[in-house]
Each structure stands twice: as C-alpha cells, then as structure tokens.
Amino acid sequence: MISTHEDADYVPHGPMYINANGFHRSHLEMEKSFKVYVYEEGEPPMFHDGPCKSIYSTEGRFIHEMEKGNFYRTKNPDDALVYFLPFSVVAMVQYLYEPGGHDRQAIGHTLADYIGLISGKHPFWNRSLGADHFMLSCHDWGPYSTSYVPQLFNNSIRVLCNANTSEGFNPLKDVSLLEIHLRTREITGLIGGPSPSRRPILAFFAGRLHGHIRYLLLEQWKEKDQDIQVYDNLPAGVSYESMLRKSKFCLCPSGYEVASPRVVEAIYAECIPVLISDSYVPPFSDVLNWKSFSVEVAVKDITNIKKILTSISQTQYIRMHRRLKQVQRHFVINGPPKRFDLFHMILHSIWLRRLNIQIKD
C-alpha cells in the first residue's frame, strides 16, 4: 500500500495504486535508465509538431516536450530503449484529408511511406519489427491510420486516446492516453473544487447527442430528475464549470469513440468520474486502481445510475474524494513537466511495455 523508498517530491501510497511500492520503484528506475530517441526525419507541420490547445492537446503537448529534449531524450540512437515516431495524426487530417470526403488513404499512405523511410535509413525498426517503437495520437483516426502499416498496428506501442479493445487496442502493448480539452495553453483555474459537503447535486452531465451511449443517457435522464441532472444544452446563465464543482459525481459517457475529455474535467474539478462505456481501457490501469476513486457503469445499467450512486455511502464517498485529490497529480499537464505528472505517467506506461520486449541484435 505504501512505497518503502524515500522521495522529497511524492511517495505513492494508498489503495489508489495496484502496487504503490512497485510503481514508485519502477518510476525511480525509469528516471535513471529510460532513454528515448526521436527520429529527426519528417518536416513540420505533420511531423515534430501538434496542437497544444483544443481537444487534441495531449498529442501536441507530448510531441513538443519530446522535441525540447529536456527529459529522457537521447541524440544517440544506440543508447535508446525506445524510438519515437513524431508524427501528428491531427495535422495529417488537417492537411491531407478533404472535408466531407470518405477517403482517408492519404493519411495511411503517408505513414507507410514514413515507416519505409526510417526502416530503410536506420537499422532499429527492422531489428525489432517495430516492437520498441511508439507513436502517440489523440485523434479518433489514430488507430485506423496505423492499420496501413501492419507491424505498426500489431507490434509497436501505440499511445492512443481511442483505447477501444473492440477496435484492436491491446492493453498488453498499447497505452491509453487521456483526452484533455484545453481551450487555452494553460490549466490555470481548472484544478480544484469544493469539499464533499458543498456539492448539492448527486450527478451531472451536459453534452450534445454524440453516439449511441449518449443517446441512451439523454433518453433516460434528460431533465427528469433533480438528483441526476442531464442536459444536452445547459440553461442560460448556468456555467458548465460551476456545475462540475457543485456535483458529487460527473457522468462521463463515451461519444462516437470511447475516450471522453469529461474524465479529466471531472478529476480536475474533484468530482468523482462515472465512466460509462464499453470496451474502454482507462489510462494508467496497470498502475492505478480506478475503482478506488471512480465509478464504472456498464451501458446496460444506464437506467440504474441513480440506484448505483445512492448505494455509495457518505463515508465511502468522502474516502473516494480524498483519493481522487491525491491521484490528481498524475493527470495534470505541466509546463515544464513535473515528476509524477501526466507527461511522466505516459512515459512510465511506455517504459513498462518496453520492459516486456527482448531485442536481439
């Protein structure tokens, strides 16, 4: 439950961790040993660049931090444990996809050409068939785009917001990435919320119709219950952020894709996230025990949401709230990054998967 290692910044402890001591020891070892080589091939804006605000901000922020080279990056590829493919699917969609069309092949062919370039120029891809390489994408089309390169899809570590096991996401080798909607480049004012006693609303959701799960949620609960406040459009003069902070639980249904920025919005506002999805793998599930600070509701149980949430006692809720505040640090984007924050947690997930791969020269 608690790490046996001293640490001036943070000592993981409590049931929020599957193994607090193991995680801390692994994180410390990563900080000492992990080296990432970033391929220099490719030109901006589709390579070495990405959006730092918008719903795809985690993609751009990670690419930019790796490009700065202040953490884990090595310029010597022979020293690297993993190799980063610094392309942005968001940028490829922007520059290669014709809006209104259905042809996404240009994106897939660009990725195939890029892998062909680096595998022909460097020995590292062919040595492992891509198993010690990773890509990162928060766009819905990230998983589909990788299917144009079978070794990238099947062998490489794919860091994806759209972590859907029914669409080929493999938790043993792939990494689930948080979707964070940054409207500015800063998170100032987004983090923190009232104590449990100052949250009068049991559960809250606001969002337009976007996929089958939200349809079921809106159909069942929209403006029907003062305890379960569900809206497609908030009433005039009502702030979305204030509703998050007034609510004990925040409903986070999947849209057309499994990931939702509402998970992080809830964690930042210290509102217990209620994950409503099928086939979704929450981020950092190999380290964090999500059941200790969130609620998972199967799609088939949407009608029972109130029953499920009211069955959680006040004592249990306060305990979950305290745990949520403690793990909040792992979901925060910092500039520059801080130990145990989102940037380091993403790299730790990649580090864990790299440890499972044996490469023979």
On whether the pTM is more than 0.85, the answer is: yes
pLDDT of residue 4: 83
pLDDT of residue 185: 65
The answer to whether 173 touches 157, Cβ cutoff 8 Å, is yes
Q: How many other CB atoms are found less than 10 A from the CB of residue 144? A: 17
What's the rounded Cα separation, in Å, for the pair 196 and 249? Answer: 10
pLDDT of residue 178: 96
The distance from CA 245 to its chain's CA centroid, rounded to whole angstroms, is 22
Q: Which of 249, 237, 267 is nearest to 327 (CA)?
A: 267
pLDDT of residue 251: 98
pLDDT of residue 307: 98
User: What average pLDDT values come out for the chain (361 residues) when binned by 10 residues?
Assistant: 86 96 97 98 97 92 97 98 97 89 86 98 97 97 96 98 96 97 76 96 96 97 96 95 97 95 97 96 98 97 98 98 98 95 98 89 67
